[in-house]
């Protein structure tokens, strides 16, 4: 997807995919709550990984819902266990829209 200014002859800028936008939101959130925003994508969300507690998980869920209209914590049969699983929710949403 591309964004074009009103004057088509101007430069176009790529719009970040929902997955990339979600990663940016999550990493900003992690920094705000004093967790490592550079956590690897395969890091567990809880305990010895990123270390989210239940309140922080609920806050992240609400933030993602507000930002993107859905969140992987309430729309999946199983709770995501890693950052990658959270981001996969937004990649899958894009693929579903394309069909």
Domains and CATH numbers, the chain: 17-98 (1.10.1200.10)
pLDDT digits (tens, 9 = 90+) for 12-59: 555 578 899 999 999 999 999 999 999 999 999 998 899 999 999 999
Lookup result for tokens 């859905």:
70
pTM above 0.85, yes or no: no
Distance CA(54)–CA(57), nearest Å, equals 5
Angle between helices 83-98 and 54-68 in degrees, nearest 10: 20
Of 58, 1, 2, 5, the C-alpha closest to 29 is: 58
Mean per-residue pLDDT of the chain: 84
Q: CA 33 from chain center: how many Å?
A: 16
* Half-sphere exposure for 98 (CA within 13 Å, toward CB): 9
């Amino acid at each position: 997807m591309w964004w074009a200014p009103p004057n088509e002859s101007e430069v176009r800028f790529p719009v970040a995919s929902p997955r990339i936008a979600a990663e940016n939101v999550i990493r900003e959130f992690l920094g705000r709550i004093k967790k490592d925003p550079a956590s690897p994508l395969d890091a567990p969300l809880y305990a010895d990984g990123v270390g989210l507690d239940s309140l922080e998980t609920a806050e992240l869920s609400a933030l993602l819902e507000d930002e993107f209209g859905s969140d992987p914590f309430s729309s999946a049969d199983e709770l995501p266990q890693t950052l990658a699983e959270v981001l996969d929710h937004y990649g899958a949403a894009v693929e579903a829209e394309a069909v």
